[in-house]
Amino acid sequence: MSEPPRPTDSRPAKPPRPCPICRKMSLAPYHPFCSKRCADVDLSRWFAGVYAAPAAEQDDDETETPPRALDEGDR
């Protein structure tokens, strides 16, 4: 008798959770989405700039001229 094939991925399956696009339960092949369509909708939103990380505003002190580098004669 031979042993049954072992799964190549030993990580536990992620529990189903609502799809962030349509709120249906997610499916393993598309996790965290429920379908390829919802995954593509999300990707399209990233490309369009709908999702964006807020940029930190610089203080006036940070926009000034940076300190000069040391020359060979300054050492």
Instruction: Establish whether 28 is an annotated binding residue.
Output: no
Instruction: Establish whether 19 is an annotated binding residue.
Output: yes
Instruction: Establish whether 22 is an annotated binding residue.
Output: yes
Measured CA to CA, the distance from residue 62 to residue 39 in angstroms comes to 39
Whole-Å CA distances, 60 to 39, 63, 67: 41, 5, 15
What tokens does 59 get?
């203080």
Annotated binding site: 19, 22, 34, 38
Question: Binding site for Zn(2+), residues?
Answer: 19, 22, 34, 38
